Structure 1
Amino acid sequence: MRGAKPVRIGAMLVLLLVPHLSAPGALDAAGIRHVLLVTLDTARADRLGCYGHREAVTPRLDGLAQKGVQFLKAYTPTPLTFPAHCSVMTGTLPVYHQARNNGFYYLEEGIPTLAEAFRSAGYRTAGFVASFVLDSRFGLGRGFERYDDDMKEGEALKNYRSERNAREVVDAFLPWLAKNARDPFFAWVHFYDPHLPYDPPPPFRDGLPGSPYDGEIAFVDSELGRILDALEEQRILDDTLIVVAGDHGEALGDHREIDHGLFLYEAAVRVPLLFVHGRALPRGKTVPAAVRLTDVMPTVLELAGLPKAKSVQGVSLMPWIGGRKSADLPVYLETYYPFETFGWSELKGITDGRWKLVQAPRPELYDLASDPRETVDLFEREASRARKMMRDLRDLIERSARPAPSPTRPLSTRDQERLRSLGYLGGGRPEAPETGPKADPKDRIDDYLLHHRGGLMEGEGNLAAALECYDELARRNTGVPSYAVSAAFVLMKMDRTAEAIALLEKARARFPSSALVFSRLMSFYLKAERWNEAIAAGKALLDLWPDDFDALFLSGSAYAMLGKWDEALELYEGALRVEPENKLLRQRHAFALAAVGRTEESLAAYRKLKDEFPGDHVFDLDIGQVYERTGQIVQARLTLEAAVRRHPGPDTYHAYALVLAKAGMFPEAVRWMRAYVSAAPETDGARRARALVLIAEWEKRKKPADQ
């Protein structure tokens, strides 16, 4: 995980419910030693029981609303996971932090975060996230002592799976809570389950068969209940400030939008927001004013007695909670998803709680009081109001924007695959020169639905239909490289490798500066074992993005396949500077050290990996190979013998048998290779066939006394 130096912020005394901070004082001056932030991804506010959904099964969330403060009109600044969380964690708008989308932006280190404020004040800090979209590489891990973004424990590639469910997140969080419950802490738990595809586990799938989306929210509610129960068992529930916030909503077909990100309608930008504390906050309080996710950070900091950074653009909501203020706050809205995915116009908007303006090629104006579902566009009828709100929007952007380039990063091959699996199929900005005005997303809704259908068909395994969708989208949107990439990806799934590579080579000629195209082409060359072409594509990608993890790691792997270990080692070390925690990379790096003769450094690296991941047998297999390569056969045999005891299975049996044969111990080698043959999975056909040949050879080499 990459991290910045923590911002040093001293603890401050606060008079509860008073909006002004006092002089420096004790850590828990406000009586709040524990803070738990829970973010509900893709949680549409009006699908929770406490927000009026009669069919909802959300007793724990409803209970929190009754015990604390419920904000009835809370807004996200953007209906996208990563930039919305950046706003929560920094108290700034996207025009300031400049993260506009998922996957190829990162949070700049100079912007103070909520976690940094708590950590510098002496709190233990930990984050547990459920989606690759919030991986530490994107910068949200700053300030957290522990940032748990491992999508599957023990997996060779970090985040090889794109998400984990609520139960897995809570299973990761509860041991940390048990260990740190006596210390002041700030913890963040993120749930991703209500995101497409909706597939709640039983009994939530069975209990709400007509609405799997509601079933996902019910499942999250149940798992949140496990956290609340654990806080009660630790006797700190009433001493914990609990903040529950949605990051964005879900359209569910409103305005023909399936999910979120395309438009700025209420279904996607209104979110649940709850603040609960047993003593510091009122019970059963509702706040009808419009508030923002940017207000979460300053409110939490005031309650904890900590000052906010100068960069924070939100305000503390304590005056609204205390009843001293009631006015709606001005709300800024934006989505760059239409532009960066489809090449259409981005959307920006503003609402004052009643009137809402959306700036688009065809602007829109709605009266939310009389038309909450936004069905009647009043932009022309209310022209003077629309002009005023246009000026208000322009002024808000000018006041809030930070004059700095957007902090983007290239989208690696694995990143693309994860984002595709999460429904973000575009994954790259249009790169053809703009020759005219950008299309209004409202006018391209059929393309959006075709895009969605392509992803749906691909997910269901109907690859021919998916390919037709992507080919048609590429024809309609010639300036967007991602559709060629999506089509090529489907061709690879269909084992049409040569066609996939040819398609991307054409895309490379059309988009010569597209990191997206080069990254995917590089991975396809590797799959086709065209090592030198993969290296050439990696070099082109590194010329564009010198710190691209994918190019560094995969180029190193290509050089390793060619036996060029010095070059491989150099590239692996570059990749480690980008992702020092990547387990598979560290393993490859350790092996490369041995391959260039730096045996002791290699073994030290492997020992560290074993200490961190004691349940992973692959390190023993590699260590055995290192000893064998350096002629230390006895050490190799002892290492693999121990591996067989600790991790019995086909891999350890096979490796142990080979080193026994190398040591001339053929009877034992035959015994363990037979054990491998018995345990080998069906997919291990080629290695199993070779093992049978070796057994026959070793049988012949047994000494007469062995017969």
Structure 2
Amino acid sequence: MNKKMTNRKIKYIKRHYKEKSDRELAQKLGVPRGLVKRVRKELNLGGKEERFARPPLESKPSPVRSTTGKWSRRKIVAVSLLVGVVVVGLGLYLLSRVGGFRFFSRVDRSKLNVILITIDTLRADHVECYGYNKIKTPELNRMAEEGVRFAQVVAPVPLTLPSHTSIMTGTYPLFHLVRDNGGYYVEEDYITLAEVLKERGFATGAFIGAFVLDSKWGLNQGFDYYYDNFDLSRYRKISLSTVQRPGDEVEKEAMEWIASNGEGKFFAWIHFFDPHSPYTPPAPFDTLYPGRPYDGEIAYVDMLIGRLREFLVERDLLDKTLLVITSDHGEGLGEHRELLHGNFVYDTTLLVPLIIRFPKMEIENLTIAEQVRLIDIMPTILDYLGVPPPPESQGVSLMPKTRKKNQKLKLPAYGESYYTRIHFGWSELKCIRTERYKFIDAPKPELYDIKEDPAESKNLYQERKPIGDRLQKELAQIIESHSVKGEKRAPAEIDAETERKLRALGYTTSIAAPFKSDKEGRPLADPKDKVEVIRLMNKAEKESDQENTEEAIKTLEEVVSLDPNIVDAYVMLGNMFTRRNLYQRAVADYRRAIELNPDYDLPKINLAIAYKEWERYEEAAAILKEVVSRQPRNSRANFYLGDVYRRQGMYDEAIKYYQQGVEHDPNSATLNAELGLGYYYQGLLSKAEQSLRRALERNPSIYTAHFALALIYEKKGDFDSAIEEYKKEIENNPQGFKAYFNLGIIYGKRGDYTRQIELIKKSVELNSKFSEGYFYLAKAYLDTRDEKNFQDAIEAANRGLQLDPNSPYAPLGHYVLVDIYNRQGKSEQARFHLQKARELEKRGATPQGSRK
């Protein structure tokens, strides 16, 4: 019998405890009955067996014998009450004079709300109430005065998704196994704070500031409403603003939701992404903090918190709400030669603020100096509400410390970063932090006396090696006791749209790869010895984002000259050469990346894309089929394999892989749209329309769906509907030249040549190599029968013939010239173009009218 109580089994108990007895649950799950009973008790659940339990026997009070002599019982009670009133009154007076509990404001915790605010990338030492005198954060200061400020709060990992997962589950990455952004998912096994509160009757809403916390990564578990909706399909060029939203938009959505849910109890998670790079504070904070835009972003978010506070006061919700404000990680800002975060585990990126404001200021103006962890937030919230934490929670409640200041916490903190292991093939970093020391387990170990050296500037490992060795053993014990036994999770492959969104956010190398080890068994490099390589990779990413391709290529070539084993550098080079149509160079770089890490599918799929664009379809298909055979759920591989076959006119095969992609990813608007196009090309118009409608339901702004619907309406002869669909396509995709062209053709058929010319001119402006557009533009000028337009017609026809003299539409260009030259009496030129047109027609060059 498997006696282990996993998260999946706990969730099963929570779903079925009402209709199944402990015995039935134990048999179903293969665990002892007593273990089921204990879990129910810890989760405060009833059960089938409890409803039929025998009522407890009534107990009779035993007789009390008086030993007080002439003091009657009534006198004793009266004196005791009088003394109690005096003592309590004195205590309340004294406590009202100092920070601490306010017993006179009793709170009914069964009806309280919870708001959790996470401010991305916020260093604790850049907040005014944490001692930073170069910024004004009056709202955070006021929250600290009205509540509890924790002076030393340690994040478990300096990355957004893993750290938020720890906040929401109360567990370390050792347990939840989310090691990086992009490719890692929060599995359904893990119980989140939102799930616990939802089961207790809370309405739950989350308001997310960046795609890195999109619902696709799994943190939406337990939320009734999850405001993410980061849509990229309408943008030809992706900018940062398309995959993050400013804090005022996040807050506005949160306020509207709170206003509609304020009658009952609610849990709202509000995520402000603004302090994350690039730092672009809005006015007036850009001018208030010249040269310090990071501080400007923090001050902006502080203002938003004040606005939220006012909103809660206006609706009489502030004193009915537990407010928790924290961050997921800090920012390097150049210290330890780290500009951003993720590579190292120094305090610059691991220490974050934590402020808790209790309803009716039940505890106020209290600072707790001892070290706590982000994993302690979930159990603290639940403890305050009187709710037991999930059994797997690895944090502890901090509530006892708020009540008993002399109680010692003594909480060692674990930290890690696998970023450099995942992306560069160097060693991961792990650390343990105590009240006095910080030990970093690296190829070259580090030990810091953080009391004497808070900047972690002097490595004491050699001087105090016994302390370092002791901490290394304690670190190993934490890893052993907090890890999921016997389980490793490799990152999952992500789809193309997701990859584009992460890259737009600045996570250019954040498409997680399987761990890579040195084939020859050599020790992995220490990241602190590779700072120059990290700097150059960051530089290349910035140059790539700014479309400065030449400089980015030079920088990446410098990277691989310093370290020829950086997989991500070769992938980035391949991407840039593909973008520039230098397919031979791209293929060489992708193949080098695959050689370095054969288990990494990203360079394999990108290699296939390069072959596809190179029109070497056989090689592209072979690579993608190999990936799909191992990962049939890989929607990205299915999408591109379908595209390879569609380009060759092999629509049956294309549909097969689009269908497979939709089967495993039914919410993908892109796959549904491509499947619809496949059906259209096969003449299956009803199926095509169904798929295209599904695509638009999932994403009303997706490219091609309205275009394909317009083609369907044209085939049906419903040109009014076709016009409307083409207009919607142009609204979604203003750069889509074919929609302008097809719309122009319809207006030409209706005799509106002015509108036709306007639209087709726009199509060739958008794509100057679109030869078909020039041929039809020439015909439109000729159809006006206005001699003033003949020269424009001649120029358009000649431009089309220059671009593609063997085009199926080339005879049309020649016939336009024949007509004009005949009208102008230029018989020799007319005969020349007539002969050319007939030669092309004999070779089979005739317009098919597809316009797809």
**Could you tell me the TM-score, scaled by structure 1's length?**
0.86
Q: 1:119 aligns with which of 187, 193, 198?
A: 198
What does residue range 664-675 of structure 1 map to in structure 2 within 5 Å?
665-668=749-752, 670=753, 672-674=755-757
Mapped partners of 1:224, 1:643: distance in 2: 44
1:97 alignment partner AA: H
Quote the residue 1:17 is aligned against: none
Contact 1:412 1:519 in 2 (8 A): no
Contact 2:233 2:703 in 1 (8 A): no
Change (3 A) 1:576 1:645: closer
Deviation sequence 1:466-516 (CA, Å, 0-9, x none): 323322322343333211112223334555343223332344455443212
Change (3 A) 1:291 1:557: same
Q: 1:345 aligns with which of 408, 427, 447?
A: 427
Mapped partners of 1:107, 1:159: distance in 2: 27
Deviation sequence 1:580-627 (CA, Å, 0-9, x none): 333333333333344445544443444455566667796444322223
Quote the residue 1:330 is aligned against: 412
1:195 alignment partner AA: H
Quote the residue 2:251 is aligned against: 170
Change (3 A) 1:330 1:156: same
Secondary structure, counterpart of 2:359 in structure 1: coil
2:649 alignment partner AA: G
Mapped partners of 1:611, 1:511: distance in 2: 39
Quote the residue 2:375 is aligned against: 294
Contact 1:21 1:302 in 2 (8 A): no
Deviation (angstroms), 1:113:
1.4
Mapped partners of 1:436, 1:591: distance in 2: 51
Q: Over the residues paired in the alignment, what is the CA RMSD in angstroms?
A: 3.5
Deviation (angstroms), 1:91:
0.8
Quote the residue 2:460 is aligned against: 378
Q: 1:94 aligns with which of 173, 177, 191?
A: 173
Q: 1:358 aligns with which of 420, 440, 443?
A: 440
1:693 alignment partner AA: A
Mapped partners of 1:306, 1:597: distance in 2: 59
Quote the residue 2:144 is aligned against: 65
- 2:225 is aligned with 1:143: no
Quote the residue 1:15 is aligned against: none
1:91 alignment partner AA: G
Mapped partners of 1:313, 1:468: distance in 2: 47
Which blocks of at least 5 consecutive residues in structure 2 are unaligned?
A: 1-7, 16-40, 47-106, 786-811, 813-852
Quote the residue 1:246 is aligned against: 327
Contact 1:264 1:334 in 2 (8 A): yes
1:132 alignment partner AA: F
Deviation (angstroms), 1:529:
4.5
Contact 1:90 1:297 in 2 (8 A): yes
Deviation (angstroms), 1:44:
0.7
Change (3 A) 1:228 1:513: same
Quote the residue 2:656 is aligned against: 570
Deviation (angstroms), 1:656:
4.4
Deviation sequence 1:285-319 (CA, Å, 0-9, x none): 22212111111111222334433211111111111
Secondary structure, counterpart of 2:370 in structure 1: strand
Change (3 A) 1:489 1:548: same
Deviation (angstroms), 1:358:
1.2
Deviation (angstroms), 1:75:
0.6
Deviation (angstroms), 1:436:
0.9
Mapped partners of 1:362, 1:225: distance in 2: 45
The percent of aligned pairs where both chains have the same amino acid is 31
Quote the residue 2:287 is aligned against: 206
- 2:480 is aligned with 1:398: yes
Deviation sequence 1:300-342 (CA, Å, 0-9, x none): 2233443321111111111122236342311111111122222
Contact 2:429 2:440 in 1 (8 A): yes
Mapped partners of 1:127, 1:541: distance in 2: 35
Q: 2:384 aligns with which of 303, 306, 312?
A: 303
2:417 alignment partner AA: T
My pick for the range that moved more, 413-422 or 32-41, is: 413-422
Change (3 A) 1:291 1:602: same
Q: 2:491 aligns with which of 408, 413, 425?
A: 408
Deviation (angstroms), 1:454:
2.6
Quote the residue 2:349 is aligned against: 268
Mapped partners of 1:179, 1:524: distance in 2: 50
Deviation (angstroms), 1:674:
4.2
Deviation sequence 1:330-361 (CA, Å, 0-9, x none): 11111111222222211111112222111112
1:640 alignment partner AA: I
Deviation (angstroms), 1:39:
1.4
Secondary structure, counterpart of 2:175 in structure 1: helix
Change (3 A) 1:447 1:678: closer
Mapped partners of 1:121, 1:694: distance in 2: 70
What does residue range 9-158 of structure 1 map to in structure 2 within 5 Å?
30-152=109-231, 155=234
- 2:780 is aligned with 1:695: yes
Contact 1:522 1:538 in 2 (8 A): yes
Q: 1:535 aligns with which of 621, 626, 635?
A: 621
My pick for the range that moved more, 582-591 or 383-392, is: 582-591
- 2:454 is aligned with 1:454: no
What does residue range 525-674 of structure 1 map to in structure 2 within 5 Å?
525-596=611-682, 598-607=684-693, 619-629=705-715, 632-634=716-718, 636-638=719-721, 640-641=723-724, 644=727, 655-659=742-746, 665-668=749-752, 670=753, 672-674=755-757
Mapped partners of 2:553, 2:413: distance in 1: 40
Which blocks of at least 5 consecutive residues in structure 1 are unaligned?
A: 11-19, 702-707
Deviation (angstroms), 1:235:
3.6
Deviation (angstroms), 1:86:
1.2
Contact 1:81 1:247 in 2 (8 A): yes
1:104 alignment partner AA: G
Deviation sequence 1:415-443 (CA, Å, 0-9, x none): 55544441453643436514311222222
Deviation (angstroms), 1:119:
2.8
- 2:271 is aligned with 1:179: no
Deviation sequence 1:104-126 (CA, Å, 0-9, x none): 22222211112222233333323
Deviation sequence 1:402-423 (CA, Å, 0-9, x none): 1211242125555555444414
Quote the residue 2:509 is aligned against: 425
Mapped partners of 1:489, 1:642: distance in 2: 34
Mapped partners of 1:413, 1:644: distance in 2: 27
Secondary structure, counterpart of 1:189 in structure 2: strand
Contact 1:637 1:660 in 2 (8 A): no
- 2:400 is aligned with 1:319: yes
Mapped partners of 2:42, 2:404: distance in 1: 18
My pick for the range that moved more, 645-654 or 220-229, is: 645-654
Deviation sequence 1:217-238 (CA, Å, 0-9, x none): 2222233444444434444233
Quote the residue 1:483 is aligned against: 569
Aligned residues: 680
Contact 1:481 1:511 in 2 (8 A): yes
Secondary structure, counterpart of 1:242 in structure 2: strand
Change (3 A) 1:155 1:656: closer
Quote the residue 1:444 is aligned against: 530
Contact 1:38 1:188 in 2 (8 A): yes
My pick for the range that moved more, 600-609 or 40-49, is: 600-609
Q: 2:759 aligns with which of 673, 676, 687?
A: 676
Deviation (angstroms), 1:66:
2.3
Change (3 A) 1:600 1:41: same
**Could you tell me the TM-score, scaled by structure 2's length?**
0.72
Deviation (angstroms), 1:392:
1.2
2:205 alignment partner AA: A
Change (3 A) 1:625 1:238: farther
Change (3 A) 1:158 1:539: farther
Contact 2:764 2:774 in 1 (8 A): no
Secondary structure, counterpart of 1:471 in structure 2: helix
Mapped partners of 1:368, 1:398: distance in 2: 25
1:246 alignment partner AA: S
